[in-house]
Amino acid sequence: MYYCITSGAGLSPHGKSFNMLAIIESWEEGSYYEDSTGQFLFILLLKVGLDFLVLSMCLRWLHTSFMGVCGLSVFLVDVVLLCTVVAVWFLGPARSPVSICFLLAHASAMFNALPLPVLGLGLLDYLYEPRYTTCHDAPCRDLWNYALTLLVWVLAGVHSCCSAVTNLLEVEYEGGRNALGCTVQESVFVVHFSVGISVAICCVMLLHYKQMPLWLKEANRPPLYLSLTLDFGTTWASYLVMCIACELLGLAVPAYISINLLWLECANSVLVGPYTANSTICFSFKYYILPFSIQTKIIITHIK
């Protein structure tokens, strides 16, 4: 259903993302026709379901941090995208004001623009957290988080208008099969993020692999940064391996799928780790599987 076609330099004015072809429909002369809209709906439904499971663990504290508010906004955008695709599919191309290609192209471009500003603002939010500890639950703090989240989505929308390619492309395969598809963007940032974090974890493990058996045998506590790295790696190893495996196997994953709440959780744990080390707070393995908003609440509690 998704096929990598070329680097973004040829299809995007920025040349910063890899584009793939999302097959909307395919047919053979006089005998075969397939509409892939139902498959897109199924994938989006799975993503919304996964997001809902993650949010159900932390709905009470979503407003307490920028990353929490951002996670809520991702879920809401996913729901809107799903409902819009359902509406377009139900109305059909003749009555719908927009096409499936238009929605998928703009959605991938918007989600592709999220990771860098989200990580940057999330890091700043944690760095300046001690200054706002006394008024963390104040309405002004909540409004600030919502305003920053809205700003991120506005910038993502501007990026989408400048880089999305909404024209349908016709592809002819050998054997007389034809297909109509649209270009959607893959988030290269997520791929580099997963590979970079995995390499960093492996390097830390290699640096201390000789001392680790001794620490385990004598029940000595390893250095704080190593303990955090081990906890993080144990928790997120399966997710990181899955992301890297998809890339190595050539499985094309558009940005509106790869940018999800699991990635936000993983990225938030990366941001919280150095902050935790600087605050001389040591957390157990269970800490890293808590939702990002609950992690923030634990940090504030320890600082107080």
Task: Say what the alpha-carbon torsion angle 13, 15, 21, 24 is, to the nearest 10 degrees.
Answer: -30
Domain boundaries, the chain: 2-303
State the Cα–Cα distance between residues 164 and 158, nearest whole angstrom.
10
pLDDT (0 to 100) of residue 113:
94
- What pLDDT is recorded for position 171? 79
State how far the Cα of 24 lies from the Cα of 101, in Å rounded to an integer: 7
Which of 8, 7, 39, 10 shows the shortest CA–CA distance to 22?
A: 39
Find, among 123, 102, 53, the residue nearest to 270 by Cα.
Answer: 123
CB 229 within 8 A of CB 206: no
CA angle 27, 35, 94 (to 5 degrees): 105
Residue 36, CA distances (Å) to 21, 41, 164 in order: 13, 9, 20
Nearest-CA neighbor of 41 among 75, 85, 84, 103?
85
Which residues lie across from 183 on neighbouring strands? 21
Instruction: Write down the pLDDT at residue 259.
Output: 94
- Could you tell me the two tokens for 2? 């998704």
| CA–CA distance, 206 with 170 (Å, rounded to integer) | 50
Segment (H or E) for 173: none
- Residue whose token pair is 């016709």: 170
Q: How far is CA 233 from CA 114, 118, 277, in A?
A: 24, 22, 16
102 with 54: CB under 8 angstroms? no
Residue 44: the pLDDT is 94
Q: Is the pTM above the cut of 0.75?
A: yes
What CA–CA distance (Å, rounded) separates 148 from 69?
A: 9
Q: Which residue has the tokens 């391996």?
A: 241
List, for the chain, all residue ranges whose pLDDT scores fall below the cut of 50: 4-16, 132-136, 277-304
The pair of three-digit structure tokens given for residue 207, joined into one six-digit string: 């640096």
Backbone angle region of 172, left / alpha / beta, with phi > 0 → left and psi within -120 to 50 → alpha:
beta
Report the Cα 120 to chain-centroid distance in Å. 14
